[in-house]
Structure 1
């Protein structure tokens, strides 16, 4: 049996709601930058009877134990896997450990949520997808922005056709830091924009090119520009940087009828729709009659009710475990994003050469 990795979930496919039931225990492995946010959301949502927090660093464990006294802390991953009450494991460890820890958790018959990216290669990601299917466990990837209300609104606006035919997407994600030691800026930051763009457009790029440079740590680029080429001439540009004086989280979508700007740093009004476009005179007799006209219309700001995306992601993970539903950001979603990053890395090492994006088929073992 084979799973075709190119199939996308439709916007309505995950609209199913379920009566929420609590899990016995959820374990969060990795209590560095992001793991404590998972511990907080599990406690606040009440989606598990017990929370287990695992990290090698005693200071991190002590901090979680102080903030959440009911949490059981441990430094032993093996004990987490051996605990029969632990039904799900959330992995928020360094990227290079994602595959091995997720594999071991699935083999221990735990459902697994892996923070982005799912793995460091398409082959590893595909193996995790196959293993989850074989063990009949949920495999979900922490593409948190896909649970963000403004991003979901962006997707719906594109799907509605309000913008017209999509010409291009341009995303910038920049800040001063945080420099990483195990992955470059594309694997750290562009992973967000890739997941957003793939979901919003509902298709995979055919080819990718990537240029970048490392200024502080050899072989780990701190600034990069990715170009994704889709079918029908649609193109997407992603600029990511750890070396920028300003925090920028902005995506522009340009269509044949209207244009949209999503600014995640805006305190309010994160999405603006601009009634701007270029019109071409449909009929003309001679080349000298050929003219462009420019439309400058109104700006529309849609109302968006926001909830913390991580809270929604947490509840969705538990719902999928309880009901057997396919997660919105399932293993195949993670595999597609890793495949784009893998092609970008190959392009980067080859001087920015345009590189095909190849998503492996996933065969059950």
Structure 2
């Protein structure tokens, strides 16, 4: 898929960005026997000093040019703020490196398409860190949907709420929606047709910290995504509503679970009195049929990084390659346009 398979047993990797998530990336890369981390690059001295203390085996540099010029470096993990994904990814691909980039792939569909074309031209892996796709809990959810456990899917509700790290370069849509949209793409074989998105900026002017989006999908499916940096309770949950039941997924690592619910409906009314059905109700019950909450202790991030290495070493066709993630970026871009236009319906 990406040219001849490699013979080396170790992939030499450099990490660009040593912030909160960059440290997590570095820590997990160091767990993988097939990986040798040669560098970590960050422009801030305080971050570089911290990395030297925490990971003394990794060489720390200030400028990315030093990494790009080193022929030993085969792959870059780009873990910078969203607005700084495109340029270093482009430079890495032009330098002949494989690229792992934190979500989103880029801040526009056109930029993402350019990166994808560069990776295909150079026969290099372009991989987006859509971490949840490597969570065994989410994979169980997908398996249950495909088995028909809840019948035909009709609606999806996704909520990613809480307070914590609030970005200053980009809004909650660009930071959080990549998770929800990539999960939708992974779970359901239907494309998004249109997006209506709206939001509010309470903390920073012009940078939405709360957004809501209504998605119309193929197959008559609707989806609603609620994102907030201003919510007192944290959740990363997904509810898939089917005609015969529902599946609930909580994605926070220490609270992961999947719940299968079964519906039980009574008879529909058979009489019409005063022009309305009588009795004017249909009895309905929901039964919690089964809960799964034991998914082991391997972090989905480690599984994601192992998939990246597998794509390089073995040409594995993993679910967050650039050729798949570009569809998520297309929907993200449409949602950003809808937000800018005050909630207009934007076709994807």
- Normalising by structure 1, what TM-score? 0.87
Answer whether contact 1:205 1:231 (CA < 8 A) is retained: yes
Instruction: Report the counterpart of residue 228 of structure 2 in structure 1.
Output: 241
Shift of 1:181: 1.0
Answer whether contact 1:27 1:90 (CA < 8 A) is retained: yes
Q: Deviations over 1:102-124 (max 9, x none)?
A: 11100111000110000011111
Structure 2, unaligned stretches of length 5 or more? Answer: none
Number of residue pairs the alignment of both structures matches: 339
Q: Deviations over 1:296-318 (max 9, x none)?
A: 33421136423211111111111
Structure 1 residues 356, 278: CA separation in 2 closer, same or farther (over 3 Å shift)? farther
Is 1:300 the equivalent of 2:290?
Answer: yes
Is 1:208 the equivalent of 2:199?
Answer: no
Quote the Cα distance in structure 1 between the aligned partners of 2:131 and 2:7.
20
Instruction: Report the counterpart of residue 240 of structure 2 in structure 1.
Output: 253
Quote the Cα distance in structure 2 between the aligned partners of 1:30 and 1:151.
28
Structure 1 residues 215, 61: CA separation in 2 closer, same or farther (over 3 Å shift)? same
Shift of 1:46: 2.4
Quote the Cα distance in structure 2 between the aligned partners of 1:231 and 1:102.
32
Is 1:184 the equivalent of 2:171?
Answer: yes
Instruction: Report the counterpart of residue 321 of structure 2 in structure 1.
Output: 330
Structure 1 residues 191, 280: CA separation in 2 closer, same or farther (over 3 Å shift)? farther
SS at 1:245's partner residue? Answer: coil
Quote the Cα distance in structure 1 between the aligned partners of 2:328 and 2:11.
31
Structure 1, unaligned stretches of length 5 or more? Answer: 1-17, 358-365
Shift of 1:204: 1.6
Quote the Cα distance in structure 2 between the aligned partners of 1:219 and 1:313.
33
Answer whether contact 2:125 2:311 (CA < 8 A) is retained: yes
Shift of 1:157: 1.2
Trace 1:15-30 onto structure 2 (pairs within 5 A): 22-30=9-17
Is 1:346 the equivalent of 2:333?
Answer: no
Shift of 1:125: 0.4
Quote the Cα distance in structure 1 between the aligned partners of 2:57 and 2:288.
53
Instruction: Report the counterpart of residue 94 of structure 2 in structure 1.
Output: 107
Answer whether contact 1:21 1:47 (CA < 8 A) is retained: no
Q: Deviations over 1:305-354 (max 9, x none)?
A: 23211111111111110112333201122211111111111111222111
Trace 1:270-285 onto structure 2 (pairs within 5 A): 270-278=257-265, 281=268
Answer whether contact 2:113 2:326 (CA < 8 A) is retained: yes
Answer whether contact 1:215 1:221 (CA < 8 A) is retained: yes
Structure 1 residues 19, 80: CA separation in 2 closer, same or farther (over 3 Å shift)? closer
Answer whether contact 1:24 1:85 (CA < 8 A) is retained: no
Instruction: Report the counterpart of residue 309 of structure 1 in structure 2.
Output: 300
The more displaced of 74-83 and 329-338 is 329-338
Answer whether contact 1:347 1:353 (CA < 8 A) is retained: yes
SS at 1:206's partner residue? Answer: strand
Shift of 1:265: 4.0
Quote the Cα distance in structure 2 between the aligned partners of 1:313 and 1:269.
17
Which of 215, 233, 244 is residue 228 of structure 1 equivalent to?
A: 215
SS at 2:30's partner residue? Answer: helix
Is 1:319 the equivalent of 2:337?
Answer: no
Structure 1 residues 303, 268: CA separation in 2 closer, same or farther (over 3 Å shift)? same
- Normalising by structure 2, what TM-score? 0.91
Trace 1:60-75 onto structure 2 (pairs within 5 A): 60-75=47-62
